[in-house]
Amino acid sequence: MSVSPFETAFLRKVADRSAVVGVIGLGYVGLPLALSTAEAGFKTLGFDVDRAKMDMIRAGRSYILHIPGDRLQKAVAGGLFSATDDFRRAAEADALIICVPTPLNRHREPDLSFVTGTLDSLLPHLKAGQLLSLESTTYPGTTAEEIRPPLEKRGFEIGTDFFLVYSPEREDPGNPEFETRTIPKVLGGDTQACARVGLALYREVIGRMVQVSSTRAAELVKLLENIYRAVNIGLVNELKMLTDRMGLDVFEIISAAATKPFGFTPFYPGPGLGGHCIPIDPFYLTWKARAYGVHTRFIELAGEINQSMPHWVVEKLAQALNDRGRPLKGSRVLILGLAYKKDVADMRESPSVEIMKLLLARGAELSYSDPHIPVFPSLRRGRFDLASVPLTPETLKATEAALLLTNHAAFDYRLIADYAPLIVDTRGVFPQAANVVRA
């Protein structure tokens, strides 16, 4: 096995903790990763174009709910973590890890502009001997087809004087049982030398690494993980609509099925899919599959079901109001929860926003309560110039319906049950009662 001098030098820097790690994109994936590399003893540079984030990091203030400020303060005060928007400083790093968004465009096709834009910003400052790792979720072939060619055009020989890997993020914001360091991490290298270099660094930060044969394999692993969830959520969302017609409680059915100790994993229905992964990732694979002449019907059907849920919820609300002699138009509806999942402040792809748009179009008067989102974000405000209202007997009695979309632990569910005239529950939180309708 031939080992280049650049590989030897990189491994030495990892071993003696002199390697500098750069993390590009300090969001829900990048910030915890950057803190983890700093806490492992590596000087870490965080890169982001959002200057508000830079200011908060320099002040030791966390802008992500589940990351405590004292953890950030310790890393900054210890001199192991700093943040910058100056991409020229990429030359200071031995390893660069890209953690930027990969959304869909308006045609629901992959949008790699954040990845390619980041690479364009980095290219003038890259040097021999560096490791570049892509963590952003994407379709199989992205690393080899979009990242490697510009590096080679720059004059690097991949696997000899420059190292390229794909290692997908695995974050579950708001889940206290897992953190970056404790979640097993998949990695595929563009060459075996690339894999050796990537594993050497990540093993110092992550408890368990799982190597696969290539970057393309690692890219598909990430898509499979999220498509598995999307398909199973689509199944129980469809089952929810069926059990509603049958007069059965889908949450009771799922809970009972979950007592089987083998062969069954419970998934739960909701008002639609949200977050940066599950609503988006299936379409990355269906788009790529078309290049191979494959129509991924099963995946696309699950996507159609999940995308239809906001409309179903709105119709259930309208029906519940109509049964009580109220039209949806002009009714005061209190939205409980804007975030896409419980106990986070993340609104990316949140079904709450889509449901609010549908309700507004039907003439409803809207307000919302979310303890983690005090003001509707300005970039997405549009027609929703709103701030979170406190949950009190007065605010609840002043509505025609409370629509539970995000089951935050901070909500006082007993208070809601006692004072809301009508509760439309999309999360199965409230027991059956005269003022509760499941949706």
Same domain assignment for residues 205 and 294: no
Question: Of 166, 185, 213, which residue constitutes the final position of a domain?
Answer: 213
| CA dihedral angle for residue 38, residue 16, residue 18, residue 77, rounded to 10 degrees | 40
Residue 163: which domain range?
A: 5-213
Residue 271: how many other CB atoms lie within 10 Å = 27
Residue 148: how many other CB atoms lie within 10 Å = 18
Query: In this predicted structure, what is the pLDDT of residue 381?
Result: 43
**What's the mean per-residue pLDDT of the chain?**
94
305-338 pLDDT tens trace: 999 999 999 999 999 999 999 999 999 999 999 9
354-365 pLDDT tens trace: 999 999 999 999
Same domain assignment for residues 66 and 103: yes
176-230 pLDDT tens trace: 888 899 999 999 999 999 999 999 999 999 999 999 999 999 999 999 999 999 9
User: Strands of 43-47's sheet, edge to edge?
Assistant: 81-84, 43-47, 20-24, 95-98, 131-134, 163-166, 185-189, 209-211
Q: How far apart are CA 35 and CA 40, in angstroms?
A: 9
Q: Does 329 reside within a domain?
A: yes
Q: Does 219 reside within a domain?
A: no
35-67 pLDDT tens trace: 999 999 999 999 999 988 988 988 889 998 888
Query: In this predicted structure, what is the pLDDT of residue 174?
Result: 76
Same domain assignment for residues 99 and 196: yes
382 pLDDT more than 70: no
Question: Of 213, 244, 260, which residue constitutes the final position of a domain?
Answer: 213
Residue 387: how many other CB atoms lie within 10 Å = 11
10: Cβ contacts below 8 Å, ≥ 6 apart: 19, 94, 129, 131, 163, 197, 200
Same domain assignment for residues 307 and 411: yes
The residue with greater pLDDT, 90 or 60, is 90
- Average pLDDT score over residue span 16-24: 98
Domain count, the chain: 2
Q: Does 27 reside within a domain?
A: yes
Which tokens hold the place of 178?
């897992």
Same domain assignment for residues 206 and 237: no
Question: Of 213, 242, 263, which residue constitutes the final position of a domain?
Answer: 213
Same domain assignment for residues 245 and 156: no
Same domain assignment for residues 423 and 328: yes
151: Cβ contacts below 8 Å, ≥ 6 apart: 123, 126, 132, 158, 162, 164
Same domain assignment for residues 241 and 136: no
Query: In this predicted structure, what is the pLDDT of residue 29?
Result: 93
138-176 pLDDT tens trace: 999 999 999 999 999 999 999 999 999 999 999 888 788
Q: Does 224 reside within a domain?
A: no
Most confident of 5-9, 56-60, 271-275: 5-9
Q: Does 228 reside within a domain?
A: no
Q: Does 222 reside within a domain?
A: no
Same domain assignment for residues 253 and 199: no
Q: How far apart are CA 306 and CA 300, in angstroms?
A: 10
Q: How far apart are CA 350 and CA 257, in angstroms?
A: 28
The stretches of 66-134 forming alpha helices (DSSP H) are 69-77, 113-122
Give the residue from 20, 62, 53 showing the smallest Cα distance to 37: 20
Residue 319: burial class (beta carbons within 10 Å; 0-12, 13-18, 19+) = middle
Output phi, psi for 238, to 5 deg: -65, -40
Q: Does 226 reside within a domain?
A: no
Same domain assignment for residues 241 and 103: no
Same domain assignment for residues 73 and 134: yes
CATH of residue 107: 3.40.50.720
Total-model pTM: 0.92
Same domain assignment for residues 164 and 209: yes
Q: Does 316 reside within a domain?
A: yes
Active site residues: 277
